[in-house]
Amino acid sequence: MAVLDDILKFNGEFVEEKQYEPYIAGKYPNKHYVILTCMDTRLVELLPKAMNIHNGDVKMVKSAGATVSHPFGGIMRSLLVAIYALKADEIFVVGHYDCGMSAVDPDVVIENMKERGISAETIKNVQYSGVDLNQWLKGFGDVTKNVEHSVDVIRNHPLVSNEIPVHGLVIDPKTGKLDLVTSGYEG
């Protein structure tokens, strides 16, 4: 409860002092693109600075590893809404070096679930219902290949127009340097 109380107290002051005013923006992105990136804490401020984006410029979608794990899952849905409802004209998939998803061990994650109160029976029920938890929770070894995979899923999605360029990049979480994996402008 202490964390929630701290947040609400700070928020009350934030609103009362109108500290939100510098962040006022419209719902449509100024730069007309959407970024899919990782939820890594090192990227929260670094990625926007490294890409010269400000509040209101882009739509930002985050997932563990900047991964599109299912072509009709929530991440893909968010990208489609950004394109067709919020006027995004390009997609950037931005992974990063030293990504925690590259070392995720599904067995360890499942054990941690059990330690935090998820019963073995619940895990068995999920697996029995057709979900391969080991595959679903599995990380990846090569960030560049993972970015290529996500870009490929998006580019080949039946609901993404061929007119939408989909780019793949990898950012260094220490320096902000962007390495191009694939350009959506090339054939």
The CA distance from 181 to 65, in Å, is: 15
Q: What is the pLDDT of residue 52?
A: 97
Bridge partners (DSSP) listed for residue 96: 171
- Give, in order, the Cα–Cα distances in Å from 140 to each of 12, 39, 115, 181: 41, 15, 24, 16
The CA distance from 118 to 33, in Å, is: 39
pLDDT in tens, the chain (187 residues): 699 999 999 999 999 999 999 999 998 999 999 999 999 999 999 999 999 999 999 999 999 999 998 999 999 999 999 999 999 999 999 999 999 998 899 999 999 999 999 999 999 999 999 989 998 898 898 999 999 999 999 999 999 999 999 999 999 999 999 999 999 998 6
Strands 90-96 and 59-63 come out as: unpaired
What would the DSSP string read from start to end of 21-56?
Answer: GGG---SS-TT-EEEEEE--TTHHHHHHHHTT--TT
What's the pTM? 0.91
Would you state the structure tokens that stand for residue 171, as one six-digit string? Answer: 């950012």
Q: What is the pLDDT of residue 103?
A: 86
Exposure of 90 in the CB half-sphere (CA atoms within 13 A): 15
Dihedral angle over CA of 9, 10, 13, 15, nearest 10: -110
Q: What is the pLDDT of residue 187?
A: 62
The CA distance from 41 to 55, in Å, is: 18
